Amino acid sequence: MDYLLQLAADPAAWVALATLIAMEVVLGIDNLIFISILTNKLPEAERERARRIGISLALIMRLALLGTIAFIVQLTEPVFTALGHGFSWRDLILIAGGLFLVWKATKEIHHNVDPDPGPDMFDGRAATIGFSAAIAQILVLDLVFSVDSIITAVGMTDHIPIMIIAVVVTVLIMLLAATPLANFIQANPTIVMLALAFLLMIGTALIADGFGFHVPKEFIYVAMAFSAAVEALNMLARTREKKRAAQRAASGGESQPRAGP
């Protein structure tokens, strides 16, 4: 208790908490985009429940990983060397997760570009999934992002209570943002393609990181923000064009002469 009181009275601890929460929220965007796209493929009645379960699993997984933080730190130790690079368990998890993201994003882009594909490597069946399959895929990505999230937290602070509070606050924000984000993506088809492109880029960055080529996350998120801003301008332009078209149609209808008796 004395330790917690001392921590609460330490201004540096509050700065570390705010910084860590901000970092975890940014890192959680990747996970949230994936969950939004995946759950939108479920029947509408199951979507919100799947999001709640998926994000709750992320919370449970991250808290469980914090309970084994000594083991998590050891995941950065090389277990074998290949191609002149020492691969750790963290590297292998990032590579596996990156490959999964690249495969999933490529498959979804393929289905969006060609909604009725023939039999091929992407599987030509309808682009729908079952509830259990969605939760399983969310769980896979939760593991990848949770390991990366906890290792990032360990690098920012030594205080476990700060890490726990940051994780809980981040997941609560994800719970609040999940449905509005999913609904926004669902209502704007072009956003779906942009989000899939983000996942493809994130997956590639995870693979590169696993092979020892670290891509600063700042570059990734700046690119995502720039692309999102361009798409926002496109959406604004389309909305204004629709309004002008509606006004022209209305004024054209009013100016037409009435038919004679």
259 alpha-carbon distance from chain centroid: 58
Q: CA angle, 91 as apex, 90 and 97 as ends, to 5°?
A: 90
Give the number of other Cβ atoms within 10 Å of residue 8's Cβ: 10
**pLDDT, tens digit, 9 for 90 and up, residues 130-165:** 888 888 888 888 877 777 777 767 666 667 788 888
Q: Distance (Å, rounded) from C-alpha 115 to C-alpha 196?
A: 15
Q: How many CA atoms lie within 13 A of 49 on its CB side?
A: 8
Q: Distance (Å, rounded) from C-alpha 104 to C-alpha 35?
A: 12
Q: How many CA atoms lie within 13 A of 74 on its CB side?
A: 5
Choose between 61 and 2: higher pLDDT.
61
Is residue 209 within 8 Å of residue 99, measured between CB atoms?
A: no
Confidence at 123, pLDDT banded by 50, 70, 90? very low
Is residue 55 within 8 Å of residue 175, measured between CB atoms?
A: yes
**pLDDT, tens digit, 9 for 90 and up, residues 169-210:** 888 888 888 888 888 887 777 777 888 888 888 888 888 888
Q: Which alpha helices (H) appear in the chain, and where do they start and end?
A: 2-8, 11-39, 44-67, 69-74, 89-113, 131-156, 160-187, 189-210, 217-255
- Which of helix, strand or coil describes residue 55? helix
Given a cut of 50, is residue 107 above it in pLDDT?
Answer: yes
Q: Which amino acid is at 244?
A: R
